[in-house]
Structure 1
Amino acid sequence: MGDSLTAGYGLAEGEGFVPQLQQWLAANGSDATVVNAGVSGDTTAGGLARLDWSLTPETDALIVTLGGNDLLRGLDPAVTRSNLEAILTKADARKLPVLLIGLPGPANFGPDWKAQFDAIYPELAAKHGTLLAPNFMAGLGGDDPAAARRLMQADGIHPNPEGVKRIVADLGPKVLELLARVQP
């Protein structure tokens, strides 16, 4: 469940996060099926609004990659937290294991806003006992901004196919850990 980063915005079919994750899992011995519940432009409020019909009875686990559009719009971190909290509470009620994938907040909204936003993911993961990947983009290698830019589409927001490949390689082990939590 996510936004354009999950949906594969700007990429050809098969190059986005979900199909590349599906391929990575198969190559690493998993027969899990990954369903793309990403909607470009979605906020945490949008994800919450569609959660009930997105979680079919066949759903065994949930990956949540929401919050990027909240941060791009500078939404109140308390609203983002509340929406993510509600999503995790609904997953808890269904006894679904969850991998919560965050993004670091930008500094341009001020240090207080950033501190509040950055606290959301680790605090909610701890409260709900979910797995946590603090930064969806970590696989791009934040130590070298020039190298990371080469892994992005022209908009500077969405990864290109090679960027997605690196993100999947970084997040794949966490997804395997999530799958290990699925109850038979």
Structure 2
Amino acid sequence: MNTIVALGDSITYGYPYTPDMSWVRLTGAELGLTLLNKGVNGDSTAGMLARFKRDVIAHSPSHVIILGGTNDACARVAAEAVAAQVRQMAELALQYQITPLIGLPVPGNYPPDEAYLDLYRQDMRDYALACKLTVIDFYAAFKASAAWRTLYADVLHPNAAGYRVMAAAAAPVINSMLM
């Protein structure tokens, strides 16, 4: 049985709901798997890196989904710092024979945050391509909907429909990784 950890911030956690409404649980239910939700409200990529051993390595998963950056964008953290932290998490995973998947953050509904998120996404795409890592493109899944701005509970967090869109993006990628 594969163990998959989803590491992230409030968007992984399922805020403003509980983890039962998160894309993590919805994806697991669709695939008949248990995904460990290690989303922490308000966390940054630096915080995710700091808890990586406890929240990921300690569970000896086969895979980890790394999804962060939204709170970094709110705090205007430089793209280079976010990219370095995502790379360190992926490299740590690989050191422990854990397959990392890089989640691209959903679109920001606030233009100044989106400017940062766009830089983060590009760095994540480039890194994943260079290292032949799998990407879960939550951004493209949201943008594929003509009414993507209706997928939010507030300016940052998906609503129930938004979390379903995220699960629909994650499930086929995870399924193909496990086959």
Category of TM-score, reference length = shorter chain: 0.7 to 0.9
Corresponding residue for residue 81 of structure 1: 83
CA contact (8 A) 1:7 1:39 kept: yes
CA distance 1:9–1:127, shift in 2 (3 Å): same
CA contact (8 A) 1:99 1:178 kept: no
In structure 2, distance between residues paired with 1:118 and 1:130: 14
Corresponding residue for residue 36 of structure 1: 37
Corresponding residue for residue 127 of structure 1: 130
Corresponding residue for residue 151 of structure 2: 151
Deviates more, 1:36-45 or 1:48-57: 48-57
List aligned pairs for 1:161-180, cutoff 5 A: 161-180=160-179
Structure with a larger share of its residues in strand: 2
SS in 2 for 1:36: strand
Deviates more, 1:162-171 or 1:12-21: 12-21
Moved over 6 A (4+): none
Larger radius of gyration: 1
CA contact (8 A) 1:98 1:178 kept: no
In structure 1, distance between residues paired with 2:34 and 2:17: 20
Listed as ranges, the gaps of 5+ residues in structure 1 are 27-31
CA distance 1:107–1:52, shift in 2 (3 Å): same
Cα deviation for residue 116 of structure 1 reads 4.2
TM-score, normalised on structure 1?
Answer: 0.81
SS in 1 for 2:51: helix
Task: Specify which of 5, 9, 14 is matched with residue 3 of structure 1.
Answer: 9
Aligned-pair identity (%):
25
CA distance 1:140–1:44, shift in 2 (3 Å): same
CA distance 1:16–1:130, shift in 2 (3 Å): same
Cα deviation for residue 4 of structure 1 reads 0.6
CA contact (8 A) 2:66 2:103 kept: yes
Aligned residues between the structures: 170
Listed as ranges, the gaps of 5+ residues in structure 2 are 1-6
Corresponding residue for residue 19 of structure 1: 25
Partner letter of residue 61 of structure 1? H
CA distance 1:137–1:57, shift in 2 (3 Å): same
1:135-174 Cα deviation digits (max 9, x unpaired):
x243334552xx2233211x22111112211221122111
CA contact (8 A) 2:73 2:113 kept: no
Partner letter of residue 132 of structure 1? V
In structure 1, distance between residues paired with 2:38 and 2:59: 15
Corresponding residue for residue 63 of structure 2: 61
CA contact (8 A) 2:25 2:34 kept: no
In structure 2, distance between residues paired with 1:161 and 1:118: 23
CA contact (8 A) 1:88 1:128 kept: no
